[in-house]
Structure 1
């Protein structure tokens, strides 16, 4: 019998023809790797360590980012990277993510559902004073537009550039309003937030932030027309 050596090239070809095509990992597509591991910035920069696995924040000064528009989140990361928003950890993290990474992780969080928040009693709404009126009607005497005109009657956000406020803590919202007032936070192209926060009085900020956290909306907050004693 005539035995002939099997060509090496043919053998290699037969092996490579059976190899599966490369498959993109779900982490690469969704930005989940960056959110859970910090990507090139390292584990100390993992988003979930502060914002939670559900993206809901810590209920205090770390905001809810789940369900926020991806374009808005990308823009805020850019602000942190170039110094328009200042926060030691966020500035450090954002500066180590390139534009592709920022978009990937922002898209990941944008696709997450907004976590449910706790319900408050109707009586608790009374502690917010005139905040409901300010939120829904503004203060015409001060030329202050209503918060609802940009952020929605239920805090759902109006358009991609105006983030939803549902699920944000009162502490975080109050802190951001104060930063807008003092100019520590900027980047709003029309200066709407800077001007609006500047027209608020000191004693109106905390009640307004509390109402935003617990007023009407998806988080089962009671109606703003509750009659207080």
Structure 2
């Protein structure tokens, strides 16, 4: 067997080197650069083309990213990249970013102010606050908060998102297309929702402010009373014996 010329050996070794080059590093120098330029994936993967210049979303099917929790955003990118949350567009985008780039762009979007929405006094759908113990449906507010702005660490904000986007996600949870929820919590919570109930929840969430507002004493008391009055079964998510590795 003939030995390869030294120059060809060098080229072969270079082809196997996955260390980001100077150009890739420049395109991933900050979260904003990645969002506007697509990072190592190039302009075709630029986040702003779907999610808006300020992370506000497109108002139709692409969600807002501005103001969402950094850890939540980074987990979604990791799940897209690994295939745990399959999506034709986002899987391609996430896979060309390394872990540092995913962290940087997540931090940048988390630091942006969420868009302001017109004031709305519409009441939440009954299932949002009380669930339905007879059907094993947990109250959505127990994880996502009374206004959909999240109820603590690991329980993301779902308010201020386009109706079509939220409906699509609920459908994916129900069908099993989306399965990156810890211990199958979301899959179990939405399994028995009717299409009309899902549509009502999605439409109401689209009117809720994306950022938290200070609750008045009377509002807090009302929420506490409603929570205390719920049947115990509606406060517990029925979790299947499985883990999605989260």
Count of paired positions: 189
Q: How much does 1:160 deviate?
A: 2.8
**Residue 80 of structure 2: aligned partner:** 80
Q: How much does 1:142 deviate?
A: 1.3
Q: CA RMSD in A?
A: 2.3
**Hey, what's the Cα distance between the residues in 2 that align with 1:143 and 1:194?**
12
Q: How much does 1:202 deviate?
A: 2.1
1:160-175 alignment runs, 5 A limit: 160-175=153-168
Report Cα offsets for 1:132-158 as digits up to 9, x if no partner: 211111112112111111111111112
For the 8 Å contact 1:55–1:112, the answer to whether it is kept is yes
**Hey, what's the Cα distance between the residues in 1 that align with 2:116 and 2:100?**
30
For the 8 Å contact 2:132–2:139, the answer to whether it is kept is yes
Q: How much does 1:215 deviate?
A: 4.9
For the 8 Å contact 2:31–2:108, the answer to whether it is kept is yes
Worse-matched range after superposition: 132-141 or 100-109 = 132-141
SS at match of 1:145: coil
**Hey, what's the Cα distance between the residues in 2 that align with 1:216 and 1:114?**
9
Q: How much does 1:117 deviate?
A: 2.0
Q: How much does 1:166 deviate?
A: 2.1
For the 8 Å contact 1:167–1:219, the answer to whether it is kept is no
**Hey, what's the Cα distance between the residues in 2 that align with 1:178 and 1:101?**
30
Q: How much does 1:82 deviate?
A: 1.3
SS at match of 1:191: helix
For the 8 Å contact 1:151–1:157, the answer to whether it is kept is yes
Q: How much does 1:163 deviate?
A: 1.2
**Hey, what's the Cα distance between the residues in 2 that align with 1:31 and 1:80?**
18
TM-score if structure 1 supplies the norm length? 0.76
Report Cα offsets for 1:38-93 as digits up to 9, x if no partner: 11100111111110011010011100111111111111111111112222221111
For the 8 Å contact 1:132–1:215, the answer to whether it is kept is no
**Hey, what's the Cα distance between the residues in 2 that align with 1:45 and 1:177?**
26
For the 8 Å contact 2:61–2:164, the answer to whether it is kept is yes
Flag the 1:89–1:215 CA change in 2: closer, same or farther, 3 A: closer
Q: Does 1:38 align with 2:21?
A: no
Report Cα offsets for 1:160-208 as digits up to 9, x if no partner: 3111122101111111001000000011122110001102112211111
Runs of at least 5 residues in structure 2 that lack an aligned partner in the other structure:
1-25, 214-218, 223-246
**Residue 55 of structure 1: aligned partner:** 55
TM-score if structure 2 supplies the norm length? 0.71
Q: Does 1:137 align with 2:126?
A: no
**Residue 172 of structure 2: aligned partner:** 179
